Structure 1
């Protein structure tokens, strides 16, 4: 068990900050900050909340990492087709789900294992297929530990999100959008301003790339959107004080699926070597 006095030493004293900075490079960071991870999880549930139990994540797929890397593209044109609940659950797990069960570490790395990000889902009307029906349109929050969605608001908020995102049409047309937010204080309290300007953006990039690659592996597409009015997105999500929206990632079935062959890649490399 990690002593709180040791954590105080790490977070507050100059020497402790230096040590924690080294640890954030990946050496024992998940173990050192376990106490913080467990005590910082906010209670978002209650007796009257509506939860969606997502299908269990799959750890084996049919597309290799190399293929997903080669075929990943920013997709802005989507078919008018829903995602399945299995696909949505798989993408959420890839984005920020649990990948280690002793300490609750995630699929995306995080400086000091502080995990400042939260993931929300805006589901449109008939946006997600669930057996014989569809997932209720609305705003959901993802809980990685129980792999569930909690319904926060009911209704199709794609139009509002489209307006908040400077009328980028792919936000309106996608059946689903993932929205990443950050609780900066989780990282700043350990690393100070460096956590805000460097580590949280790095965390976001890691998680965003996970979404890109998992979407590609599932035959889906997405694009990272950073141009939007923060206050309007925060209002759509009903964000508490201290939580900031950072990414909108609309997800759907691409009209055109990019495919790179090994022969094409080899020809390009050989031509560039001449």
Structure 2
């Protein structure tokens, strides 16, 4: 891997919630058009962005333990080099952890769901369970899984508001995803995001 690259993401704009609730659907087919940095910024902020100076985020978290890490495979975003990035919510930025994008590998690890390889970005939501279980014991596992659901719904709604499509993918080989990304956390969900085919 080359030098560490951190990219500051654009500010967030307001959206109307009622419209996106009605239009939200799972989308598995994407155009070949790239996403913009603004769109990537909005998706990541919706997923796990910091909303105030106390460190609270866009999703509820048991005891504010925030056990999740958001990674993004960037295949085609204007002005962003391809690769795998880690989202840094506190700075609303991304840091590249792998120099090459791994969409094809992710698709194969997800039981050959090849639409994952075509998407301009793929979010990988992973958990460090210990952040929550050290406070809540075994009940913490449930809380972590609830939090992943909150993140997924936020991503669905933001994608819809931007005219994009996404889908929650839970069928994959966990250890293969960890090996591909070279991460210690446990992957819980993949969310490819792209422009819908009209």
If the TM-score is normalised by the length of the shorter chain, which range does it land in? over 0.9
Cα drift, residue 56 of structure 1: 1.8
Note the 1:11-26 alignment, pairs <5 A. Answer: none
Q: Distance in 2 between matches of 1:169 and 1:239?
A: 22
Q: Greater relative contact order (Cα 8 A, min sep 6): structure 1 or 2?
A: 2
SS at match of 1:255: coil
Structure with a larger share of its residues in helix: 1
Counterpart residue number, 2:77: 128
2: CA distance between counterparts of 1:142 and 1:191? 26
Residue number in structure 1 paired with 2:61 = 110
**1:51 and 2:2 matched:** no
Deviations 1:88-135 (A, max 9, x none): 01110011001112x1100011111100000000011xx1012xxxx1
Choose from 90, 104, 110 the match for 1:159. Answer: 104
- Where structure 2 has 5 or more consecutive residues not aligned to the other structure, the ranges are none
What do the CA deviations read for 1:31-74 (whole angstroms, capped 9, x no partner)? xxxxxxxxxxxxxxxxx42111111222x13xx21111110000
Matched, 1:248 2:190: yes
RMSD: 0.9
Listed as ranges, the matches of 1:12-91 within 5 Å are: 48-58=3-13, 60-61=14-15, 64-91=16-43
Give the structure with higher Rg (CA).
Answer: 1
Deviation at residue 169 of structure 1 after TM alignment: 1.8
For residue 119 of structure 1, the aligned residue among 70, 79, 95 is: 70
Instruction: Please name the residue that 2:154 is paired with.
Output: 210
Structure 2 partner of 1:147: 92
- In structure 2, the residue matched to 1:13 is none
- Secondary structure of residue in 2 paired with 1:202: helix
For structure 1, list consecutive stretches of 5 or more residues without a partner in the other structure: 1-47, 257-274
TM-score, length-normalised on structure 2? Answer: 0.97
SS at match of 2:20: helix
Query: Contact 2:47–2:59 at 8 Å: present in 1 too?
Result: yes
Deviates more, 1:82-91 or 1:153-162: 153-162
SS in 2 for 1:129: coil
Shift of 1:148: 0.7
TM-score by length of 1: 0.70
**C-alpha distance in 2, partners of 1:189/1:211?**
28
* Equivalent residue, structure 1, for 2:52: 100
SS in 1 for 2:44: helix
2:135 is aligned with 1:190? yes
Q: Which residue of 2 aligns with 1:219?
A: 163
2:126 aligned residue (178, 181, 184)? 181
